[in-house]
Amino acid sequence: MKKLWICCLAGMALAACNAGNTKKELVNGVWQAKLHRADGADIVFNFDVKDSLGKKVLYVINASDRLLVDDITVTSDSVFIKMPFFDSEFKAQLTGDGKLEGQWIRHLADKDASIPFTAVPNTAERFKPGKPATTQVTGRWVTQFLDKDKSSDAIGEFKQTGEVVHGTFLTSTGDYRFLDGIMDGDTLRLSTFDGSHAYYFTAVVGKDSITNGRFYAGIGDHQETWTAVRNDSAKLPDERTLATVKPGQSRLNFTFPDLNGNKVSINDDRFKNKVVVITLMGSWCPNCMDETGFLSNWYKKNKDRGVEVIGLAYERTTDFEKSKKSLTGFLTRFDVTYPVLITGVTPADPEKGEKTLPQLTGIKGFPTTIFIDKKGNVKEVHTGFSGPGTGEHFEQFKADFDRLISSLLAES
């Protein structure tokens, strides 16, 4: 009996030891993540963890978009996830029940900002509906956002299947990318996260109007109200009219350094007698990410036709080395082979247009795309970019882009 008791004690001790040494893992599968704002409006998103070539990778999920994140370090119970763009990262710890708890940190130009973060494995749902959808949000909506005394206009486009809703907001300077969510009764819940955008929208949907809207953005306490009215024929202002060239100043004249410090000018021989596409962009800008992905692939296929592309980067700092660091990873991810130049001017500078491209009436948003003919004259200036999150608008953009380039190449 005494031996049996000793064996039992030994077995219990071994079990306790094994339980204490249980390896904590970043398990494969779909996780539900939350950024916990101080006002309680958690920003929810999903990511899918996988094994790839002996290491962990994950894909941030927003509707049909899958953003690859392949810089993940797991050390004991600590997990470090560096986002591929926008200089942000997660620092978290695996808990005893396999969850993640930590912080999402954004490295801004002059400081860091952070917000508490948790994630639960094996949870594919984004929002848990409390009741079946009682209304249909599919369609096109004229939308107004109100931030204190300042308002801005947009067009919401949504598609609902059962309770699931995907869509975006279109604006004159770009779109809100891929929004993902549900209809919970008559309440719309949408969110997105890509390392820069961290948005949560909620509102009450009626037959032809959306009311009681709230828009929660980012790490701080920023929020806006919004309303919308159904209008399937609504249109945004023509993107070609927001910024133009000044009368009599159709030729640009700039020289900026590339990432290696070499000066590149629009007047260099490389660009003479060619159609040139100039994109005003920044590594901090999600819509610029979408346009860079498009332009990089397009340039490789079309550069032998007599077309060149130049990127002019407006980074959040005037420090060349810091700007170079931010741009390097951004451009590497998209395998950009056309020159990208650092202007040394920030997007927040109210004189950014005069300091860099004084021939324009101004820079109204990022990205802005300038089309130059073979004689060196500006033919069109397009403000904003309708990315893949806009569906048919992105397809129309690509068709219009190809049509414009072909017409410029055909000119003598």
In three-state form (DSSP H/G/I as H, E/B as E, the rest C), the secondary structure along 52-115 is: ECCEEEEEEEECCEEEEECEEEEECCEEEEECCCCCEEEEEEECCCCCEEEEEEEECCCCEEEE
Where do we find the tokens 């997105």?
192
221 and 294 part of one domain: no
Position 8 pLDDT exceeds 80: no
> Is residue 174 domain-shared with residue 85, that is, in the same domain?
no
Q: Which residue type does 190 have? A: L
Q: pLDDT for 31-75, tens place per residue? A: 999 999 999 999 999 999 999 999 999 999 999 999 999 999 999
Query: Using 50, 70 and 90 to split pLDDT, how confident is the model at 5?
Result: very low
177 with 107, same domain: the answer is no
Region 299-311: what's the mean pLDDT? 97
Report pLDDT for 4. Answer: 41
* Dist CA 84 CA 329 (whole Å): 7
> Is 310 a residue whose pLDDT tops 60?
yes
Average pLDDT of span 76-93: 95
Residue 333 pLDDT greater than 70, yes or no: yes
pLDDT classification of 407: cutoffs 50, 70, 90: very high
pLDDT digits (tens, 9 = 90+) for 359-402: 999 999 999 999 999 999 999 999 999 999 999 999 999 999 99
Q: pLDDT confidence of 240, banded at 50, 70, 90?
A: confident
Write out the two tokens for 33.
Answer: 């993540």
- Rounded CA gap, 162 and 114, in Å? 35
Contact 255, 323 (CB under 8 A): no
Does a structural domain hold residue 33?
yes
Q: Which two tokens stand for residue 113?
A: 């900002």
Strand order in the sheet with 71-75: 65-69, 55-62, 43-52, 29-35, 112-120, 100-107, 88-94, 78-82, 71-75
Full domain range(s) for residue 273: 255-410
What is the percent of the chain where pLDDT is above 70?
94
Of 9-23, 104-118, 137-151, the one with minimum mean pLDDT is: 9-23
Query: What is the CA angle 340-344-348, rounded to 5?
Result: 110
Please tell me whether residues 398 and 292 are part of one structural domain: yes
- Lookup: tokens for 343: 């202007």
120, 150, 171 - which closes a domain: 120
| Span 236-248, average pLDDT | 90
In angstroms, rounded to a whole number, what is the distance separating the alpha carbons of residues 204 and 223? 17
| Ramachandran angles phi, psi of 402, nearest 5° | -65, -40
Do 225 and 314 share a domain, yes or no?
A: no
Do residues 32 and 174 both lie within one domain? no
Q: Would you state the structure tokens that stand for residue 327, as one six-digit string?
A: 């741009």
pLDDT band at 288 (very low <50, low <70, confident <90, very high): very high
Read off the pLDDT of residues 161-180 as tens digits, 9 standing for 90 and up: 999 999 999 999 899 999 99
**Averaged pLDDT, 70-92:** 95
Is residue 51 situated within a structural domain?
A: yes
Residue 240 lies in a domain: no
Average model confidence (pLDDT) across the chain: 92
- Stretch (H or E) spanning 408: helix 392-410
pLDDT band with cut points at 50, 70 and 90 for residue 24: confident
Structure confidence at residue 283 (pLDDT): 95
**Quick one: DSSP state of residue 245?**
B
Q: How far apart are the C-alpha atoms of 193 and 170, rounded to whole Å?
A: 17
Q: Both 385 and 333 in a single domain? A: yes
- The domain tally of the chain equals 3
Same domain for 387 and 296: yes
CATH number, residue 277: 3.40.30.10
In sequence order, which residues have a C-beta less than 8 Å from that of residue 393 and are 6 or more positions away? 170, 175, 386
In which band, very low, low, confident or very high, does the pLDDT at 148 lie, cut at 50, 70 and 90?
confident
Quote the percentage of the chain above a pLDDT of 90.
Answer: 86
Whether the CB-CB separation of 365 and 383 falls below 8 Å is answered with: yes
Q: What is the mean pLDDT of residues 288-308?
A: 97
Please give the pLDDT value at position 18. Answer: 45
Backbone angles phi, psi at 406, to 5 degrees: -60, -40
Residues 171 and 215 in one domain: yes
Q: Please, which pLDDT band fits residue 279 given cuts at 50, 70 and 90?
A: very high
Structural domain contains residue 127: no
> What is the predicted pLDDT for the residue at 22?
56
State whether 104 and 146 are in the same domain. Answer: no
Angstrom CA distances, 23 to 26, 29, 211, 401, stand at 10, 18, 49, 53
Mean pLDDT of 194-199: 94
pTM of the full structure:
0.89
Among the ranges given (11-15, 89-93, 230-234, 391-395), the one the predictor scored with the smallest mean pLDDT = 11-15
pLDDT for the residue numbered 23? 64
Q: Residue 57: CA atoms inside 13 Å, Cβ hemisphere, count?
A: 11
Domain boundary among 89, 120, 151: 120
Q: Residue 227's beta-bridge partner residues?
A: 144
Show contacts of 232-239: CB within 8 Å, 24+ apart: 232/139, 232/140, 233/140, 234/140, 234/141, 234/142, 234/155, 235/155, 236/155, 236/170, 236/171, 236/172, 237/172, 239/172, 239/382, 239/383, 239/384
Local confidence band at 109 (pLDDT 50, 70, 90 cut-offs): confident
